[in-house]
Amino acid sequence: MADGRHAAIRIEGLHHVYPDGHAALNGVDLTVRAGERVAVLGPNGAGKTTLMLHLNGVLTATSGSVHISGIPLERKTIQEIRRRVGLVFQDPDDQLFMPTVAQDVAFGPANFGLQGEELAARVAHALRVVSLTEHADRSPTHLSAGQRRRAALATVLACAPDILVLDEPSANLDPVSRRELAETLAGLDSTMLIVTHDLPYAAQLCDRAVVMDGGVILADGPIADILSDADLLAAHRLELPWGFSVPVR
């Protein structure tokens, strides 16, 4: 367990009940140190995406608390929290809606007050990080699935967040696009929470994993230990691909 005194993310007793009465989170406790990369694993309906949406105030907790770099998430701090925490959604269409890739990447930092040369430099850097510089003036609709996923990541990176939260980043990608995105993510220095069913992808990018089910965290440890526990995986509908060997770090 990470030390809460030096936490990039500290979640305590987090509960969330949707308007229809469904309790999606039932007392989540999680601490993540700056620079850690943590995979959030679990079956459908475990509460993973609901948890993700609490990290920059997209959803409001029914009870419990979220602190980002020591700052409590509340109404008066939400703008600062959203600058620090970048969410990359599973569907790039949730983040790509402008006529060109460059305009999409500029949208977030412009809303945070950047303009002129500083904004242009931020956009150019984000596109360079995801290897899309040559596609800056293209419509996002003309990009491949892998390029669109990286463009969505660039829209978040342009805001220079301290923490990246990614929802199923490898979903629906062909093997080459999957590898290209993994290489991009591996080259970043940000604290990361990666919500995924793709256990090999989690093993490639993360040193630590937590297993969620029923709206709570039931296991937390080195990812090699989590993925080597066949009973734990089976109990929560997680399965490694046939022939996959858990890497030893």
Q: Which domains does the chain have, with CATH numbers?
A: 4-94+163-235 (3.40.50.300)
Q: Distance between CA atoms of 40 and 35, rounded to whole angstroms?
A: 16
Query: Residue 84: is its pLDDT beyond 70?
Result: yes
Torsion of CA 30, 31, 34, 39, to 10 degrees: -30
Give the mean pLDDT of 130-152.
93
State the Cα angle at 219 between 215 and 224, rounded to 5°.
135
Q: Determine the pLDDT at residue 248.
A: 66
Yes or no: say if 169 and 40 are a contact pair by the CB < 8 Å rule.
no
> 6-42: per-residue pLDDT in tens?
689 999 999 999 999 999 999 999 999 999 999 999 9
Find, among 16, 39, 83, 61, the residue nearest to 201 by Cα.
Answer: 39
Provide φ and ψ at 137, rounded to 5°: -100, 10
> 40-62: per-residue pLDDT in tens?
999 999 999 999 999 999 999 99
DSSP string, 129-159: HTT-GGGTTS-GGGS-HHHHHHHHHHHHHTT
Q: Determine the pLDDT at residue 171.
A: 86
**In which order are the strands placed within the sheet that holds 71-72?**
23-33, 7-17, 63-68, 71-72
Find, among 209, 186, 193, the residue nearest to 9 by Cα.
Answer: 193
Q: How far, CA to CA in Å, does 29 sit from each of 5, 10, 18? A: 15, 8, 19
Q: Is the pTM value of this prediction over 0.85?
A: yes
> Count of residues for the chain?
249
Helices within 55-138 (DSSP H only): 78-84, 101-111, 116-129
Give the mean pLDDT of 203-217.
96
Q: Distance between CA atoms of 153 and 130, rounded to whole angstroms?
A: 8
Look up residue 248 and give its two tokens.
């030893």
Yes or no: say if 227 and 56 are a contact pair by the CB < 8 Å rule.
no
